[in-house]
Amino acid sequence: MHIVCVCGMGLGSSLILKMTVDKALSQLGSTGHNIEHWDAGTVDSKQADLIVTSQDFESRFAGRKNVVFVKNVVNTEEVKETLKAYLEANGLL
């Protein structure tokens, strides 16, 4: 699965979120994903199976079904539970 972590500039928080997502998926035993980090503007011009971003971007991605939001990009447990719920709901875990 192609997972993209998104923040405003595609640098700081999206890179941290990418590392958190990688760790969370590893703890879930879900491997083999292509995980990248992008800025919010890049997302519309590229393809991603899942977008992971902070709740700050809820209005930006409203209505998209392949987006999950987290409150704290460094909280592995929160990210793990969010990803687990998404993956289970979509038959991917």
Question: For 27-64, how does the pLDDT look when each residue is reduced to its tens digit (9 = 90+)?
Answer: 999 999 999 999 888 888 888 999 999 999 999 888 88
Residue in the structure block whose two tokens are 């999206």: 14
Question: For 81-93, how does the pLDDT look when each residue is reduced to its tens digit (9 = 90+)?
Answer: 999 999 999 998 8
Q: 3-state SS of the chain: helix, strand, coil percent to 5?
A: 40, 25, 40
Secondary structure E strands in the chain: 2-7, 34-39, 50-54, 67-70
Written as six digits, the tokens of 90 are 């979509």
Q: Answer whether 43's CB lies under 8 Å from 6's CB.
A: yes
Q: How far apart are CA 86 and CA 39, in angstroms?
A: 22
